[in-house]
Each structure stands twice: as structure tokens, then as C-alpha cells.
Amino acid sequence: MLEEVSAPVEIEVSGCRISTFSVIPELYERRSYRPFWTNSDAIDQMIRAIGEIYLEGLDPDDYHLREILRLRSTARDGGIASDPMAAASLDLLLTDAFVRLAYHSMCGKEDPVTYHPQWNVTAKIDETDPVEFIEQRISSPSITKTIRELKISHSYYEGLKWALAEYRMLRSSGGWEPVPEGPTLKRGMADPRVEALRRRLALTDDLPEASAEPMNFDLALERAVMRFQGRHGLKPDGVAGKNTIAAMNVTVQDRIDQIRVNLERARWALRGIDLDERYVLVDIAGFRVIYLQGNMVIWSSRAQVGQPYRDTPVLRSAIVHVEFNPAWVVPPGIFQKDILPELLKNRGYLKKKDLKVIDNRGKAVDPKTIDWHNYVNRPFPYMLRQTPGENSALGRIKIYFPNEYLVYLHDTPSKALFEEEDRTISSGCIRVERPLELAELLLDDPSRWNMRRIEEAAESGRNQKVRLPRPVTILLMYWTVEVGQDGTIYFKKDPYDRDGLVLEGLGRDEDIRPTTDDMYTSHGTK
């Protein structure tokens, strides 16, 4: 039967679809179709590794666990020795499971290009020969060690695994009952719904202590509500209003799936991140920009990101320079969607925004000579440029990294908008609340570019580009769950409605059959 896999076509083995048909034929051909799985201990380690993938939010049945266990049990009973087809089936299923599990551990189960067509974040596998890459690892002395080394090693990923276990435990104990809807609850009120509020907050350790008067909304409960709000991207005012109650009533099952979606995103993005490397992370759904060294947060700031219909893209690049007092060249999309409609209503709009019309030779054009109606459905042949200044859309500084979306980090005159709870405000670029502090970290040159010198450059009004001493990696990522360094679990809103699509590919957690110790023991693998 092993010879039958010589053609790279999809086949079915023992009722299971072999999905790695692009690799398996050559794997077996290189070893003259001799089986891989002749060592009993290696088989047991592989079965254990498949079962443990449940802890990472994936489904063990995607790796043929049930059928492998059945065939393994038959082998232990001696039945497989007289059935070459069963022996070959077990070998093929184990090999397919190894290849799939290895790839999913390194790069994720789903293809991120499905959700982000221009995806460029996943680090490429260094080995040029994927068959040799698999062959070396499948033949290693320890399958357990090999698979562990293939998995993501990052504190964000480990934190999500811990959060997944915690919320699955909450589900196994019954989860939580919804808090009844009704009028806003706040300190000083007495209401039967307050008791339900207390029970809900106690289950997720937001309320650490019981009360002798459970229907009274006291100071301790207010603080618990504030903690919950802080963990769910809500304004921490201690008032249990409509949005807060709605967040509390998201089911434990939905929170589990939210964690699993972000585990998948971490598999897409975090392989290849050097734990000694300094890098910038734009947390799109959390409206933050973070500067890290490996797992350690060095600096963070609030941010404004793209509106849902002009979303900030997910990408990986490297910051190469900062620019003080940058001129803003209006992108074509913003001209069509924002600027032109305003111009058609108010011809004084260009002067108000200090926008100049420039031709392709760099010469100024009198806007009065342009019939703006001609460009409602036609490309605009000129460039609109806003001169630097305190009212410039880019503020006093731009932090540049090459990318096809023409997005970057920058200052903004719209400081008040950082107080908004939902900061999907921009046209795609990332507005940073404290960009000069980030510039100081990126320039990393205290003698020439300390904060005083940076502030002077920003206030001078003079346009100046300064290259970084070395490029700094930047990741624009979409996380809707994270775990703080103290173990606090934070859930965010899904401003671009992306979680559901990824979950559809993964499958819901309630449909996954978890592995148990009894399963292994009954098949003699423990």
C-alpha cells in the first residue's frame, strides 16, 4: 500500500483523507517505501503530541487521532501483524499527522492569505527542501522534543494557551448565567440584579470578596466593575450600563473561541521573532503602539487606527527613518473620498487646510483654474500637498516603514480623540499619542538624539529626515485577546469583524472532542 502513494494526488486511508499528498509520495520514495513508524515509543510520543494539540486550540481529530488509536490498539492485540494493509494505514496516517501537525504548529492551520490577501507576516521556513525538512524531523530520536521545538515560543502564545485552559475550566463548571438586562446599575443602588452582577464578576475573579448585602451596589463592586471594564476595552467608570452588561453576557464558549482565534493568529505571525530583538507592535484592535524587546514591554502608547471601511492593514516591515515636520501628500483614495466632496461644497477648503496643488514637475497650480467636477470619476492628475505645521494631518513627526499600503505612524493634531473608547478614526495610518518618545527609542542615540534634541527638531518647523542606526522590525497585528505579564486576561472588541471568519475555518471549540487520559490508557499509550 505504501507504494500506492507514489502519485501526488489526494487519497483516503482507512476512512481518513490524506491531506499532505504534495509531500508524502516523495517522503516514502526517498526511503524506498519503507515504513517510518517502526518504533513503538515514537508512535506513542506521536499519539501523545496529537492529543496535546487540543491545549493549543486545535482539533486532535484533524490529525486522525481516533483512527490511529484504533489501529494502534489492533496492533497491540497482535491483529495488525497479519494485516499488511492495516500496518501501512497506520504508518501513512501517522506520517500525514506528523506533517500536518508540524506545519500547523509553525504556520497555523488556516492560510492567512485567505483573510489578508497581501499577507507578508509569516516568516519563511529556511529549509529549501520541505521533504528533507520533514524527513530529518520525523526520523529524530525524540518526536516529543522535535514537535516542541517546532511550536511558537513566545510569551503571548503561552499566555493564550493558559487563558484557553482557564476558560475551558470555567465552561466545565457550568460557565456563567447572563446578568438580566435593565436600567444602568451603579454605586449606591439596591437592586435584585446586583446579586447576579456579583456572581458573574466573582466567576472571573474580578470580584474577590463576598458581601453581607449582595443586592447593594457598594464600593467593592464598583471597583470590580471597573476591573472588568478595563479587561474588556470599556471605559472604566464602574457603572454597569448597557455595553458593560453586554460584555458580561458574552458566553464562556464565545470567549473560548475568541482565544482560539488569536492562538491561530499567533501561529501565523510569531515564528521567527528573535526574543533578543527590539520591535514595534501595532495592536490594531487594542488601539495601542508597543515597543518590545522579545517578551518584555519597554514602552506603549495609545493610538488611533483606521475606520472599519478604511482598515489599518496587517503587515510586517521595518522602520527605516523618522521625519520631523513632514509634508502630507494626499493619497488618491483620500482625495476621492474626503477632499473632493468637501471641495465641491466649499472652494475655500484648500486654503483652510493649507493644501497646495502641485503638478508632475513640482510646480504650484492655481486651484481656480481646475474644474473639480471633472475628477469625480476620473483620476486626478495633480498632487495635493499640505505644508508642515501644527495643524498638519501628520503633526510634527512621521515614522516611516516601506509598505504597499502607504501607511505609517505619525503625530496628529487631533489629540482629544485619544480619549475615545473606540479609536477606529483614521484613514488607515496609525496616529500615535506620544510619538516623540517612540522616536527617541528608535533612534537609540542619547548623545545626538535625546528627548531635548528631538523636541527642538520637532518645534523648529524645518523638514528633516533622520535614518535609524539600524532598521527596527514593525508588526501591525490584529489581536482581540491578550494576557498581561501578571496573568490578567484582556478581551477586546472586534472592530473589523474578523474573528468570525477565522473561527469558521478552525471550527467551534464545542465541536471538538477533547482527549483524556482514559483514552490513552485504554489504548496502552500512557
pLDDT at position 522? 45
Provide φ and ψ at 141, rounded to 5°: -65, -30
Give Cβ neighbours of residue 240 (< 8 Å, ≥ 6 apart). Answer: 179, 184, 185, 186, 197, 225, 248
Segments making up each domain of the chain, as ranges: 2-152+509-522, 176-250, 286-327+396-477, 328-387
Sites in the chain below the pLDDT cut of 50? 520-526
Ramachandran assignment for 272, one of left (phi > 0), alpha (psi -120 to 50 degrees), beta (any other) = left
Tell me the H-state helices in 118-154.
130-138, 143-150
If residue 200 lies in a helix (H) or strand (E), which one and from where to where?
helix 192-203
pLDDT at position 9? 60
What CATH architecture does domain 286-327+396-477 belong to?
A: Beta Barrel (2.40)
Do residues 379 and 400 lie in contact, with contact meaning Cβ atoms separated by under 8 Å? no
Do residues 238 and 226 lie in contact, with contact meaning Cβ atoms separated by under 8 Å? yes
Render pLDDT for 357-397 as a digit per residue (tens, 0 to 9): 999 888 999 999 999 999 998 999 999 999 897 778 999 99
pLDDT at position 426? 96
What CATH architecture does domain 176-250 belong to?
A: Orthogonal Bundle (1.10)
Render pLDDT for 5-24 as a digit per residue (tens, 0 to 9): 555 566 788 888 888 777 88
pLDDT at position 453? 97
Using H for helix, E for strand and C for coil, what is the string for 246-265?
HHHCCCHHHHHHHHHHHHHH
What DSSP string describes 473-503? EEEEE--SEEE-TTS-EEE---TT--HHHHH
pTM of the predicted model, to two decimals?
A: 0.89
For residues 59-96, one letter each, b for 16 or more C-beta atoms within 10 angstroms of the residue's C-beta and e for the rest, the string is bbbbbbbebbbebbebbeeeebeeeeebbbbbbbbbbb
pLDDT at position 333? 85
